Amino acid sequence: MSVNNLAVQLEGVGHQFAELRALNQINLSLPRGMTMALLGHNGAGKSTLIKVILGLLTPDSGRVDVLGQRLTSGKKPSNVGYLPENIHFYDKLTGAEILRYFAALKGESHQRVAQLIEEFGLGYAQHKLVKGYSKGMKQRLGFAQAILASPQLLLLDEPTVGLDPQASSFLYQKVAQLKRQGCAVIICTHELNLVESQLDVAMMLGRGQCLAYGTFAELAKASPLQVKIALDGLAALLVTHPYLQAFYRQGALHCAQSEQPALVRYLTTKCQRFDFTLHLPGLAEIYHHNMAQMQHCSEQGLGFVTEPVLQPMGV
């Protein structure tokens, strides 16, 4: 893939805080128009990585390119929007005043501010002091601020914490709209179930290292997690079709992902059963598996997984 098509390219990025290796050999090639979920336990290095991409922190090793610009010490990339975790505004200003302030900084018009206020459903509260805004309203304001200048890269740090389901769904609708316009989006979150259907790729960080990277299908395929097949009347079926017994556990059939096509074929052709439900490993299960594996390696003194399950695209 051409470098111009990449929103973010990281090569061998590392950073040390005193004794702590917060980031270690991070590689990433994120194309424009793609959404990446950045996942990891508390202290995994997610916010540190976001700061590196924003040019707020210069890593002590590696190369960082954002929207085709090489970030050298102190250089901030342009065309990047950012919604920090727990956003705070000067609360003696109104919502409209805050957005106009950011618009002035970013060279955007009052018309654009009015458009966003309307789009984000903040019209009724635009002249109220932010002090009186709810968490969801502040988050909408923060998100409007982040996309004010139509960024080509958007970084969202825990964007849905404290939001009700409707507000979260609104936020993800906006993300999808921005993606269609070619904006790349990085979402740092612990809300795995919410982000699962939104991501194109995910990076899982553990203690500063990339444990896994890829599309959801690639991550699922690379994990040894099994597929579960649930169907009614299984006890009787096991008697008439002993072949299935090897797959039986806790009231359902379980098989490796590679065995799934053959088992499904057996059920439909030999057993004439079509009324089963397939449960593929979800993002949360894949995540927990990777974290447990990291913990296990650590306890065994094997060191962490040093290579991601999949190589970042284009690297």
Ligand X SMILES: Nc1ncnc2c1ncn2[C@@H]1O[C@H](COP(=O)(O)OP(=O)(O)OP(=O)(O)O)[C@@H](O)[C@H]1O
End-to-end CA gap in the chain: 10
How far CA 55 is from CA of 102, 106, 296, in Å, comes to 19, 17, 34
Binding piece for ligand X, criterion CB under 6 A, among 40-48, 72-80, 102-110, 174-182:
40-48
* Rounded-to-integer distance, Cα 246 and Cα 187, Å: 41
**CB-CB contact of 152 with 80 (8 Å):** yes
Query: Does position 272 bind ligand X by CB under 6 A?
Result: no
Compare residues 23 and 66 and give the one whose CB is closer to ligand X.
Answer: 23
- For the CA atoms of 296, 297, 302, 305, the dihedral, rounded to the nearest 10 degrees, stands at 180
Alpha-carbon gap, residue 24 to 149, rounded angstroms: 32
Question: Which residue, 80, 24, 18, is CA-closest to 55?
Answer: 80
Print the binding letters for residues 45-84 with ligand X: x by CB under 6 A, - otherwise: xxxx------------------------------------
Applying the rule CB under 6 A, the residues between 2 and 21 that interact with ligand X are: 17, 20
In whole angstroms, what is the distance from residue 229 CA to residue 259 CA? 12
**If binding is defined by CB under 6 A, does position 43 make contact with ligand X?**
yes
User: In this chain, which stretch among 39-47, 61-69, 103-111, 117-125 interacts with ligand X, using CB under 6 A?
Assistant: 39-47
Which single residue is written with the structure tokens 């508390």? 42
Kindly tell me which residue out of 7, 22, 171, 220 binds ligand X, with binding defined by CB under 6 A.
Answer: 22
Candidates 6-14, 35-43, 71-79, 147-155; binding stretch for ligand X (CB under 6 A): 35-43
**Closer residue to ligand X, CB minimum distance, 16 or 78:** 16
Please compute, for residue 184, the number of CA atoms within 13 A of its CA located in the half-sphere on the CB side.
24
**In terms of CB distance, is 83 or 116 closer to ligand X?**
83
Q: How far is the CB of 15 from ligand X (least distance, A)?
A: 8
CA gap 181, 7 in Å, rounded: 13
Q: How far is the CB of 157 from ligand X (least distance, A)?
A: 8
Least distance from C-beta 46 to ligand X, angstroms? 4
# chain residues binding ligand X, by CB under 6 A: 11
Contact region with ligand X (CB under 6 A), list: 42-50, 61-69, 100-108, 171-179? 42-50
Task: Among 42, 166, 193, 258, indicate the residue that binds ligand X (CB under 6 A).
Answer: 42
CB 190 to ligand X: min, Å: 7
Bridge pairing between strands 252-255 and 227-230: antiparallel
Q: How far apart are CA 1 and CA 229, in angstroms?
A: 38
- DSSP codes joined into one string, 70-91: E--TT---SSEEEE-TT----T
Chain residues 144-183 in contact with ligand X, contact rule CB under 6 A: none
Q: How far is the CB of 259 from ligand X (least distance, A)?
A: 36
User: Which residue lies nearer to ligand X by CB, 190 or 254?
Assistant: 190
**Which positions lie near ligand X, rule CB under 6 A?**
17, 20, 22, 40, 42-48
